A and B are shown apart, each in its own frame.
Chain A
Amino acid sequence: MASVTLKHISKSYGTVRALDDVSLSVGDGEFLTLLGPSGCGKTTTLRIVAGLETPTSGEVYINDQPVNGLPPRERDVAFVFQSFALYPHMTVYENIWFPLKIRGESLMGRIARTKEVAKLLGIEGLLKRRPRELSGGEQQRVALARAIIRKPKVFLMDEPLSNLDAKLRVQMRVELVRLQKELVTTLIYVTHDQVEAMAMAERIAVMNAGKILQVDVPQKVYNDPQDTFVAGFVGSPPMNLINASYIRREGAVCLDTGYFKLDISPLAGAIEEGASSSELILGVRPEDVKVLPEPPLEESICGEVYAVESLGSEVIVSVKLGDFLIKAKQSPDFKSSMRDRVYLILDKKKIHLFDRKSAKLIV
C-alpha cells in the first residue's frame, strides 16, 4: 500500500505538450480513475507514475519518497496494459510468476503463490496453456494475476477492459472493484469510458488536453461539474449545453438563448459575482428536462421532436429548439413521434451556468 503524489508534472514531446502542470494526489488504498478522451494525457500520466516515461518537469512521489530517477523495476508498481502484454512464449504459469522469478524466488514458492492468485481469479484450470489459447477475458485475468502476485505498492491499469466485449466488460468491472477492496492496494485506473469511471472509482480525475480539470467523488463530478468539458463528458447522454446571454429587464433577471428566455432571478446575485461577462452557457442534464405533449400552466418552451431513442428502461427524446437540440430523458411509457409539437420544462433548481469565456462553473 502506498500513496502517490504528482507535483506540477509537465511532459512535452518536441513541441507537443502532452501534460501541462498536472498535480494529483492519490491516497493510500484509494481507487482513483483518470478519465478523459483519447490523447488527453491520461496514459502518459500513468506511464510517468510507472517510470516508463520521464516527465519534462515536476516530481513523482510514492509514499512521500521521490521516485523521479528510479527505473520502473525499483518503483514496486504493477501495470496492466490495454493489450494485456502477456508473454506469448510462456505458459500461463510462467506468465503469472514472472515477477517472482525475476526476484529469484524458488520454483516451489512460485508454484504455490501462482496457484493462490489463480484461484482468486478463477483461472486454476488454465495454468498450463499459452496466452494465444485463451479468450480475451481469460487473458485479462492472467494479466491481473501477474499484477497482483507480488503485492505491489500501487496498481496501474491502462484501459484494462477496453479489449473485452461489452458483456464481459460489465462483469469484470464488478470483479475489479471487489479485487481492489480485497487486496486494499492503491489503484490508478485509466479509462475513456465515463460509465466505467462512475461505476468503479472512489474518486475521478477528469482530464482534457493535458490538464486535470476536476478531481472529485463520482457523484460530485456528475452533479457539480466544474466546467463545460466535464459537464459534456460525464453522463450518458451528457449535459445539454446551450449558449445564452444574461439580461436584466424590469427587475427580472433572464437568460436569453435566442430561442427562449428563462427567468433565473434567484441566481442573479451569484451570476453577477462570478461571471466575467453576460455571455454564459446554460447546462441542464437530460433527466432534468420534462417533456409534455400539451402546454402546461407554468412557463414552458415549445419545440419539435427531432428523434426518439427507446433504451428500454428510459427514452431519450431529442427536441429541436430553433437551431439547436436538447436531449431529455423520459420514462419508458413516453409516447411521441418525429415532428410532434412538445413543451419542455427545465428544472430550474438543477440548472448549471458556466462562464462562456473561461468555461468554468458559475453556479
Chain B
Amino acid sequence: MDGKSSIDKVRRSRFQPYFFILPAVVTVLLVEVYPLLYTLYLSFTSLGMRSLQAQFIGLANYGRLLGDREFWASMQLSVIFVVCAISLEFLLGILLALSLNTRLKGRVFFESILLIPIATAPIAVGILFAPLGFFDDFNIALSRLGLPLIDLLEPKTMMTVMILADAWEWTPFIMLVMLSALQSIPRDVLESAEVFGASDFQKLRLIVLPMLLRSPVTAFLLMIRIIDAFKMFEISFSLSSWVGLRGLQFAIDTVTMYMYKLTFNPVYGWPMGYVASISIILLLVSITVAAIAFKAARRVWWIE
C-alpha cells in the first residue's frame, strides 16, 4: 500500500514528466553541454605549453584571432571548399538521381556501385586522391595521349582535388536521398501535369525540381552536409602530408587542419585556449551558414 501511495504522489506531481525525461537530460548535459561549455571556458584562458595552469584572460584569444592572418586564410579556404564541394555534390547528386529515377534494367546494380564511396573511410578517400593515388594513373594516361600533365602539387590544383575527393565521397549519398525524395512525388501529380499539357521539360522545371528542392528532406540534408563539410579534416590531412614535404602546406590548410597544426606542431607551443576559441568560431560559422542555407533552400528555384 505504501508503495502504491508513493507512486500516486509522483503521478499527481506536475514534475512527473520531467522525472521521466531526466535520464535523457542528464546524458545530453554530460556528453554535449559539458564539452561545449568546457571548450568555451578554455577559450577564455591561456592554457598552453607556457602556462599549464589555465589563467583567465578574457577575450584575449579572440583578439589574437582577429589579427591572425593564417587563421583568416584557413577560414577563407574552408568557405571556398564548403561552397564548391556542396554545390558540386548537390548538382551531381540531383542529376544522377533524375537519371536513375526510371525503371531501367540495371538500376539496382548502379545504385549498389554508387554506394561504395559512402562505405569508404574518409582517410582512405584522402589517400586515394593524394598525388600517388589514382591521379598518378590519370597523368600516365594523359602522357600516353601526348597531353600536358596535371601538376598535383600546384596549390590551386590541390584545392580542386580536395573538392573532387569530397564530392566523390558524398555525391552518391546525396543522390540516394534525392532519389527517394523523387520517388515520393505522387504519380497523380506528375500525370496531372502531363494531362494539362506539360512537356517533359516543363514537368521537370515546374513540378519535379521545385518539389525536390523545397522538400524539408533536401533542406535538412543541405544543412547537415554544410556543417559536416566545415568539419572535414581527413582529406586535407592526407593531402597536406604529401605537400608538406614541398613546403606548400598553406594551400589546403582549412580551419580544422590549422587547429590540428596548432595543437600538434611543437613550434606553436600547444595553445589550447587559442585552439578552443577557433573551434568556437568554427562552430558558430558553420551553424550560421547552415541555418542560412536551410532557410534559403526553398528559394533557389522559382516557378514564375
A81 and B194 within 8 A (CB): no
B197 and A99 within 8 A (CB): yes
The reply on B207 being an interface residue by CB < 8 A is: yes
A50 and B197 within 8 A (CB): no
A89 and B195 within 8 A (CB): no
The reply on B261 being an interface residue by CB < 8 A is: no
Residues of B155-202 at the interface with A, using a CB-CB cut-off of 8 Å, are: 186, 188-189, 191-199, 202
Contacts of A98 in B (CB 8 A): 193, 196, 198, 206
Q: A81-B188, A83-B186, A85-B186 are in contact. Are A72 and B210 (CB under 8 A)?
A: no
User: Once the chains are docked, how many angstroms separate the CA of A101 from the CA of B203?
Assistant: 12
Contacts of A102 in B (CB 8 A): 196-199, 202, 206
Contacts of A94 in B (CB 8 A): 303-304
Question: In the assembled complex, how far is the CB of residue A152 from the closest CB belonging to chain B, in whole angstroms?
Answer: 9
- Which B-chain residue is minimally distant from A90 (CB atoms)? B303
Question: In the assembled complex, how far is the CB of residue B201 from the closest CB belonging to chain A, in whole angstroms?
Answer: 11
Contact with B along A71-93 (1 / 0, CB 8 A): 11100011101110111111000
Contacts of A103 in B (CB 8 A): 197
Q: A73-B194, A79-B191 are in contact. Are A89 and B199 (CB under 8 A)?
A: no
Question: In the assembled complex, how far is the CB of residue B121 from the closest CB belonging to chain A, in whole angstroms?
Answer: 39
Number of interface residues of A (CB under 8 A): 27
User: Once the chains are docked, how many angstroms separate the CA of A86 from the CA of B191?
Assistant: 11
Contacts of B210 in A (CB 8 A): 89
**Secondary structure of the B side of the interface?**
helix
Task: Name the residue among A72, A107, A150 with the largest chain B CB count within 10 angstroms.
Answer: A72
User: Once the chains are docked, how many angstroms separate the CA of A94 from the CA of B214?
Assistant: 16
- Which B-chain residue is minimally distant from A84 (CB atoms)? B188
Question: In the assembled complex, how far is the CB of residue A2 from the closest CB belonging to chain B, in whole angstroms?
Answer: 15
User: Once the chains are docked, how many angstroms separate the CA of A110 from the CA of B293?
Assistant: 33
Task: Name the residue among A77, A78, A89 with the largest chain B CB count within 10 angstroms.
Answer: A89
Q: A52-B191, A87-B189, A94-B303 are in contact. Are A73 and B199 (CB under 8 A)?
A: yes
The reply on B287 being an interface residue by CB < 8 A is: no
User: Once the chains are docked, how many angstroms separate the CA of A52 from the CA of B190?
Assistant: 11
The reply on B211 being an interface residue by CB < 8 A is: yes
Number of interface residues of B (CB under 8 A): 20
The reply on A115 being an interface residue by CB < 8 A is: no
A99 and B196 within 8 A (CB): yes
- Which B-chain residue is minimally distant from A156 (CB atoms)? B195
The reply on A146 being an interface residue by CB < 8 A is: yes
A85 and B303 within 8 A (CB): no
Contact with A along B196-238 (1 / 0, CB 8 A): 1111001000110011001000000000000000000000000
User: Once the chains are docked, how many angstroms separate the CA of A82 from the CA of B191?
Assistant: 12
Contacts of A107 in B (CB 8 A): 304
Q: Which of B186, B198, B214, B303 contacts A73 (CB 8 A)?
A: B198
- Which B-chain residue is minimally distant from A50 (CB atoms)? B195
Contacts of A146 in B (CB 8 A): 196
Residues of A285-312 at the interface with B, using a CB-CB cut-off of 8 Å, are: none
Question: In the assembled complex, how far is the CB of residue A92 from the closest CB belonging to chain B, in whole angstroms?
Answer: 14
Question: In the assembled complex, how far is the CB of residue B216 from the closest CB belonging to chain A, in whole angstroms?
Answer: 12
User: Once the chains are docked, how many angstroms separate the CA of A78 from the CA of B195?
Assistant: 6
Contact surface of A with B, Cβ cutoff 8 Å: 50-52, 71-73, 77-79, 81-83, 85-90, 94, 98-99, 101-103, 107, 146, 150
Give 25 CB contacts A-B under 8 Å.
A50-B195, A72-B194, A72-B195, A73-B196, A73-B198, A73-B199, A77-B195, A79-B191, A79-B195, A81-B188, A81-B191, A83-B188, A85-B189, A85-B192, A87-B207, A94-B304, A98-B193, A98-B196, A98-B198, A101-B206, A102-B196, A102-B198, A102-B206, A107-B304, A146-B196
Contact surface of B with A, Cβ cutoff 8 Å: 186, 188-189, 191-199, 202, 206-207, 210-211, 214, 303-304
Q: A73-B197, A88-B211 are in contact. List 17 more A-B contacts (CB 8 A).
A: A51-B195, A52-B195, A73-B195, A78-B196, A83-B186, A85-B186, A87-B193, A87-B211, A88-B189, A89-B211, A90-B303, A98-B198, A98-B206, A99-B197, A102-B196, A102-B206, A103-B197
